[in-house]
């Protein structure tokens, strides 16, 4: 057992640590198979070791690529490597954490990141980085120039948010490593465990059921009778065809698909629904709608537009219309988890998961009067994915609307899990997606920019990936709640080491280390 385990508690996480430079200055041992169940005590690593970890010390003579290869061949436990780093930092020592970050990039990268600056979003560079996901030196001058007049005004600096990854996540027969930007400890570890359960069960499947961004201006007529006449005119197929022609004059990618009209006295609310290619599309739709409103005004003399948005769209607010009618991408994602994966990875049973999902996500949400909140913590994953990929974080409000369903199948031996997300608002061009770091995260998923042959495909694929990652997060948190692992996971992963040590000694002194590479972790419920 580690000498520091009792004092510091048991620390677990999911990411592998594959390291740069030398973890120590003396050893060149090749004993890196990590075959023993317990490493030696810290103090046996040697007097010149910066980490005092025998495992890290034994890798000092190996190159980054050699360590990555050992990790890929599973000759070195990723969990053990990162756990060793964390213990060393907690003990006040100086392991090479920068090397750990760099080699994680090598591990996730599809090719040799060190030789592919232009083609790899995770390339390695000792120079200030103006492209790709920065990890060392940051080209802040290029960054300030890029955001000028585009992403932010009166800039006074930037806030670093750590970016982790989860995966492999097998979705629609393709494997993904998904970037998540968050400051909440345990979120990445928890979601990664869900990814592991999905992949071990054969992968998830997803479908885009609808795709359309909405904008709903509010106009006022002279009388309620005129408002009714306008609605009847707008509801005809002939009028829709005419307005589609007007809309198409403003954009090459946007298409007006439908209108939903509501009348309240003299007020008329017209909810335009439009496809927007690979853009999230609010600006594109607003421009097209403005042209349509101009045309309507030419047909109705008393048509008075009060605002381009009348809160019938609806953007960045929790409303039932998005939950019912959809907005952005409407996605469903499912997986059937095998019974042995539920027992071995999730540490609970099919019956426990089904019972808890009904009591919490269905009945509990109904008791609270929730709209679109029939889930455990979809917002956690949606927000982290949005921040990493340059989406509008405020649209998390409606994009997180999710219903999570769980059913026992195959004579109760396996578990069918699905998430349905009717209003996931994402894009791969425009806004924050043009910034280097966020574009690099999109590149990791293979969806950066506009699709070359099928406009809109990249944005739809991003929505699929986010929905599958939400599915992974739901699976892991619900299993942690079912097995009562929530509190212990937060004590281990969601605090700094000093506080965690004190809390662990007080409330979890009898905890034991998790034997798997991705422990029973979770985030706020």
For residue 62, the 8-state DSSP code is S
Which pLDDT belongs to residue 525? 61
Tokens (6 digits) for 501: 């040590």
**Mean pLDDT for the stretch of residues 484-512:** 50
Q: What is the pLDDT of residues 188-210, one digit of tens each?
A: 999 999 999 999 999 999 999 99
> Do the beta carbons of residue 500 and residue 186 sit within 8 Å?
no
Which pLDDT belongs to residue 2? 34
Active-site option among 255, 267, 287, 316: 316
Tokens (6 digits) for 182: 């968050």
Whether 392 sits among the annotated catalytic residues: the reply is: yes
Whether 316 sits among the annotated catalytic residues: the reply is: yes
Q: Is 232 helix (H, G, I), strand (E, B) or coil?
A: helix
Mean pLDDT (the chain) is: 85
Which pLDDT belongs to residue 426? 98
> Do the beta carbons of residue 474 and residue 334 sit within 8 Å?
no
Which pLDDT belongs to residue 338? 97
**Mean pLDDT for the stretch of residues 441-445:** 97
Whether 492 sits among the annotated catalytic residues: the reply is: no
Highest mean pLDDT pick, 49-58, 141-150, 162-171, 496-505 = 162-171
**Mean pLDDT for the stretch of residues 469-490:** 86
Whether 340 sits among the annotated catalytic residues: the reply is: no
HEC string of 16-52 equals CCCCCCCCECCCCCCCCCCCCCCCCCHHHHCCCECCC
Tokens (6 digits) for 322: 């998005």
> Do the beta carbons of residue 91 and residue 52 sit within 8 Å?
yes
Which pLDDT belongs to residue 6? 32
Give the span between the Cα atoms of 305 and 262, in whole angstroms: 15
Query: Greatest CA separation found in the chain?
Result: 89
With a cut of 80, say whether residue 38 has pLDDT above it: no
Per the listing, tokens 């403003």 go with 250
Active-site option among 273, 485, 490, 492: 490
> Do the beta carbons of residue 392 and residue 186 sit within 8 Å?
no
Give the pTM: 0.84
Active-site option among 392, 398, 461, 474: 392
Task: Give me the percent of the chain exceeding a pLDDT of 70.
Answer: 81
Question: What domains sit in the chain, N to C, each tagged with a CATH number?
Answer: 5-107 (no CATH), 109-160 (no CATH), 163-210+329-507 (3.90.770.10), 217-312 (3.30.70.420)
Strand duo 205-215 + 267-275: pairing: antiparallel
Residue 197 C-alpha from the chain's centroid: 17
Give the span between the Cα atoms of 43 and 52, in whole angstroms: 6
Tokens (6 digits) for 319: 């409303």
Active-site option among 184, 226, 304, 334: 184
Which of 119-133, 157-171, 405-419 is the least confident region?
A: 119-133
């Amino acid at each position: 057992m580690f000498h520091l385990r009792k004092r510091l508690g048991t620390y677990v996480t999911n990411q592998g640590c594959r390291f740069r430079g030398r973890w120590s200055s003396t050893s060149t041992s090749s004993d890196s198979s990590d075959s023993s169940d317990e490493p030696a005590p810290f103090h046996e690593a040697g007097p010149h070791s910066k980490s005092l970890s025998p495992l890290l010390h034994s890798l000092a003579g190996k190159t980054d690529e050699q360590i990555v290869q050992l990790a890929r061949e599973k000759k070195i436990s990723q969990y053990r490597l990162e756990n060793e780093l964390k213990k060393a930092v907690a003990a006040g020592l100086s392991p090479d954490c920068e090397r750990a970050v760099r080699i994680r990039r090598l591990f996730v990268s599809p090719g040799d990141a060190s030789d592919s600056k232009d083609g790899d979003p995770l390339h390695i560079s000792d120079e200030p980085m103006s492209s790709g996901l920065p990890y060392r030196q940051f080209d802040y001058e290029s960054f300030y120039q890029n955001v000028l007049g585009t992403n932010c005004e009166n800039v006074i600096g930037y806030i670093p948010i750590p970016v982790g990854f989860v995966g492999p996540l097998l979705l629609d027969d393709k494997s993904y490593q998904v970037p998540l930007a968050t400051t909440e400890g345990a979120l990445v570890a928890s979601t990664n465990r869900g990814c592991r359960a999905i992949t071990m069960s054969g992968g998830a499947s997803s479908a885009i059921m609808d795709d359309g961004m909405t904008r709903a201006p509010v106009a006022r007529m002279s009388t309620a009778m005129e408002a009714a006449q306008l609605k009847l005119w707008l509801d005809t197929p002939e009028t829709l065809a005419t307005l589609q022609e007007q809309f198409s004059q403003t954009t090459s990618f946007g298409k007006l698909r439908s209108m939903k009209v509501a009348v309240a006295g003299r007020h008329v609310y017209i909810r335009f629904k439009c496809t927007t290619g690979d853009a999230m599309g609010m600006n594109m739709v607003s421009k097209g709608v403005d042209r349509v409103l101009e045309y309507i005004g030419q047909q109705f003399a008393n048509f008075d537009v009060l605002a381009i948005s009348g809160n019938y769209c609806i953007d960045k607010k929790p409303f039932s219309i998005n939950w019912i009618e959809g907005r952005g991408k409407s996605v469903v994602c499912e997986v059937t988890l095998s019974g042995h994966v539920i027992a071995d990875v999730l540490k609970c049973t099919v019956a426990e998961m089904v019972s808890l999902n009904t009591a919490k996500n269905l009945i509990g949400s109904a008791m609270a009067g929730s709209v679109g909140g029939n889930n455990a913590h979809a917002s956690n994953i949606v927000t982290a994915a949005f921040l990493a990929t340059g989406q509008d974080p405020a649209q998390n409000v409606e994009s997180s609307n999710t219903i999570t369903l769980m059913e026992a199948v195959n004579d109760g031996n396996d578990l069918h899990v699905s998430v349905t997300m009717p209003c996931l608002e994402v894009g791969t061009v425009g806004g924050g997606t043009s910034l280097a770091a966020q574009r690099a995260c999109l590149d990791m998923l293979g969806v950066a920019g506009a699709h070359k042959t099928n406009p809109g495909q990249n944005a739809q694929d991003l929505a699929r990936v986010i929905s599958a990652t939400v599915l992974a997060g739901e699976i892991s948190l619900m299993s942690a709640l079912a097995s009562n692992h929530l509190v212990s996971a937060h004590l281990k992963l969601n605090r700094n080491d000093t506080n965690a040590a004190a809390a662990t000694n007080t409330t979890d002194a009898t905890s034991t280390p998790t034997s798997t590479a991705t422990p029973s972790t979770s985030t706020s419920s």
